Chain A
Amino acid sequence: MSEIVDILISASFWAAVLRIASPLIFATMGELICERAGVLNLGIEGIMVIGAFAGWIAVYAGLPLWGGVAVAMLSGMFFGLIHAVLTVPFGLSQHVVGIGITLLATSSAYYAYRLSLPEVSSPPRIEPFQPIDIPGLSDLPFVGPALFSQTPLTYFAFFTVLVVALVLYRTPLGLALRAVGENPSAVEAQGLSVTALRMGAVIVGSGLMAVGGAFLTISAFSSFFFEMVNGRGWICIALVVFGAWSPSRALLGALLFAAFDALQVRLQQTSYGTLVPYQVFLMIPYILSILALILMSRRANVPAALMTPYNRGER
C-alpha cells in the first residue's frame, strides 16, 4: 500500500493526471454538446484520429502549433458536418452513421498519412507544446508543479469546460441547445430552427473532439502513430453518461478516470507490476468505463430526445 501512497503524494503524478485528462476533456465536452442537442456522435473515435493526424501534419508542414490546433479543429468540423447532414435533416440512424464516420475519418487519416509520408518507416517528430509555468502559482509547493506547469492546451481544456458550462447555462443559445435535446418541437414552436441548432452543435462538438485528438500528437507525444487514440473516444462517451450530461460532472469524471490511468501506469513500475500482467493494468480504463455506465444507469439524466430525429411539422 505504501507504494500507492508514495505515488499519490508525488506532484508529478498529479501533473500527469491533468495531462492524461486533457484530450478526454476536449472530446468529452464535444460529445456532451452533441448529446445535449439530441445527437449521439459515435464518430468521436475517428474524429479524434483525424484531429490527431491533421494537427500533427499541419505542424510538420510548417504551421505554428496553434495553427495545428486550428487545422485539427477544422478537420473535425468537416467530418462533423457529414455526420450532422446525415443524422439531422435526413434523420438516419445515429448509430450506423456514427460508426461510418469513425471508419471514414480513421481510414482517411491513415490514407493521408501514407500519402504524405510514403517513405518513412517511423513517423517524424515535431516540436510539441512545452509546459508553461503560471507566474506565481507554479512556485507554490506541490500544487505549483502539480497543477500550474502544464502545456497551454491543458489550460485551454479547462477553459473549454468553463466556456461550455457558461454557454449551456447562462446564454439563450445554451437554453435553446438544452431544449432541442429535450423536446425539439418546443424549440420549433418558439421560432428557432431545430436543424440549425442540432447541426451547429454536432459541428462544433466534432471540432472539440478533433482538438482532443490533436492534443495527443502536438502536446503529448509529438508524433502520429496508428491506433494511438485507442478507444479514448468510446471512453469519452461513457464519461458523458457518467457526468450525467453536465459539464462540471463530466470534467470530474475525466479527472477521476485520468487519475486511475496515471496510477495504473505507475503501478506497473512497482512490485505490483511484476505480480500482475501489464495487460490487466491496461484493461482498467475500459473496465472502469463500463462500471461507470452501470453505476449511472439508474440515475442518468439522459436528454429526452437523444437519438430521436425530428421531422418538421410531424408531431
Chain B
Amino acid sequence: MRLEAIENPTLARSLGLPVLALVATFMVGGFLAMLAGANPLLTFGLIVKGAVGSKFALLETLNRATPLIFTGLAVAVAFRAKLWNIGAEAQLYAGALVTILIGTKLALPGPLLIPLMGIGAMIAGGVVLLGPVLLKTRLGVDEVVTTLLFNFIMLLLISMLLEGPLKDPMGMGWPKSEAIPRNARLPRLVEGLRLHWGFGIAILSAVVVWVVQTRTTLGYEIRAVGLNAEAARFAGIPVGAVMVKTALLSGGLAALAGYSEVAGLKGNLTLDLSPGFGYTGIVVAMLALLNPLGVIVSAIFVAGIFVGADGMSRAAEVPTYIADILLACALLFMVLAILLTKFRVRKG
C-alpha cells in the first residue's frame, strides 16, 4: 500500500474520520464491558451519569479537568515545536514542590503568596525541562528518554523530601507535607461551589497560549522549528533559543498543574498528588490536535471519562481501568484518523 496526499480534503472526510475514531474507541470499550459481563450501553450510560449526571459530578469533572488542561497545554506547546516532552509528570511535581516550599516556609500574607507560589512553580517546571532540552540541543541526546527518566527521579526526590525535611510532624507517619495556610489557597471560582480558581487560570492559560501561537513572532518561530528545523535555521530563526523558550513555557504550564492541585484542591503534597496527569496530558493534547483551545474541550472529555468510570465501577462490575484503555485507544485511533484526512491509502 502507498499513501497519497489529498490536496483538498472534503469536510465529510475532515470531520467524519475523527468522529469515526471516537466511535471505534467506544466500540472497543463496549467489547471490554462485555468481557466483564456488563451491558455495554448500560456501562456507557453509567459513565455519562457519573461524569455529568449531577451538579456534584459535573464539578468533579471540571475539577479533574483542571490539571489536565495544564498538562495538555504543556504537551501541546512542546509537541508543536517537535519537542517531545514526556516529562510533564516531573514538571508537575516540581511545581507542586515549589508551591509547598513557598507556601509553608515563607511567612507572607496570603494574597502575596498565591501569585508568588504560581510564579515559583512555573520557574521550577521550566527549569526541570530545561535540562533535557539543553542536552538535546547541545549534545543531541533524545529528550523522550531523558524526560521519561526524570519522572522517576523526581518522584523519588519528592518521596525523599516527604520522608525527610518536608515531613509533616502531625502526619501520623504518612509521607506528606505540611499544608499551606488557608488564606494562601486558591479561592472558589463561585462561592458555594466546589470549583476553585485553578480552573479559571487553566482557561486563561489556554487563551494566552492560543494568542502566543497565532499572533506572536514566538508562536511563528515555534511552528517553524517544529515543522522544519533545518529550514528554520537556514532562514535565521535561532532554533536553540526557540527550543529553550518552548521548554520554559511547556514546563511552566505543566508545573501550574501541580500548583493548582496543591493550592486549589489538596493543600499539601503527597506522593499520589498526580495519578498520571502528566502522561494523560499527551492524550489530551493529541485529541485536541495540539490546539490550545481544543485542549480545554478534550481535557473536560478525558476528565469526564475518568470521573464517570469511577462512578460506573461502583455500580457495575467493570474495572475503572477501562477509562485508561479508552483513552489509549482514542489516542491511537485519532492519530490514524487525522492521517487519513490528509492522505488516502492506495494500492500500488
Contact = CB atoms under 8 A, between A and B. Distances in A.
Interface in B78-106: 84, 86
B2 A313 contact: yes
Contacts of B86: 99
A96 B335 CA distance: 8
A91 B149 contact: no
Contact of A238 (B35, B149, B164, B329): B149
A103 B279 contact: yes
A293 B3 contact: no
B160 A279 contact: yes
B336 A96 contact: no
A290 interface: yes
Interface residues of A, number: 48
Interface in A192-238: 230-231, 234-235, 237-238
A283 B155 CA distance: 9
Interface in A90-128: 90-93, 95-97, 99-101, 103-104, 106-108, 110-111, 114-115, 118
A108 B328 CA distance: 10
Residue in A82, A101, A277, A298 with the greatest tally of chain B CB atoms within 10 Å: A277
A287 interface: yes
A311 interface: yes
Interface stretch (B112-120, B262-270, B317-325): B317-325
A100 B328 contact: yes
Given A114-B321, A286-B152, A286-B153, A293 B141 contact: yes
Nearest to A236: B145
B233 to A, nearest CB: 19
B335 A86 contact: yes
A170 interface: no
A230 B140 CA distance: 26
A89 interface: yes
B273 interface: no
Contact of B335 (A100, A106, A238, A311): A100
Nearest to B160: A279
A273 B156 CA distance: 16
Given A96-B286, A230-B152, A293 B145 contact: yes
Range of interface residues on B (Cβ < 8 Å): 35 or more
A118 B313 CA distance: 12
Contacts of A99: 86, 279, 282, 331
A86 B332 contact: yes
B1 interface: yes
Contacts of A313: 2
**Secondary structure of the A side of the interface?**
helix
A111 B32 contact: yes
Contacts of A312: 2
Contact of A82 (B151, B152, B332): B332
A231 B149 contact: yes
Contacts of B36: 115
B339 interface: yes
Interface string A280-308: 10110011011001100110100000000
A95 B152 contact: no
B157 interface: yes
B283 interface: yes
A287 B153 contact: yes
A107 B325 contact: yes
Nearest to B149: A286
A186 to B, nearest CB: 19
Contacts of B336: 86, 90, 92
B337 to A, nearest CB: 11
A217 to B, nearest CB: 18
B325 A111 contact: yes
A42 interface: yes
B35 A97 contact: no
B156 A100 contact: no
A277 B146 contact: no
B325 A92 contact: no
A97 B2 contact: no
14 contacts: A91-B3, A91-B339, A96-B331, A103-B279, A103-B324, A104-B329, A231-B149, A279-B156, A279-B160, A286-B152, A289-B145, A293-B135, A294-B135, A297-B141
Given A114-B321, A280-B160, 5 more contacts: A99-B282, A103-B331, A115-B319, A230-B152, A286-B156
Interface of A: 42, 82, 86, 89-93, 95-97, 99-101, 103-104, 106-108, 110-111, 114-115, 118, 230-231, 234-235, 237-238, 241, 277, 279-280, 282-283, 286-287, 289-290, 293-294, 297-298, 300, 311-313
5 nearest A-B pairs in the assembled complex, by CB-CB distance: A107-B324, A114-B319, A104-B328, A279-B160, A103-B328
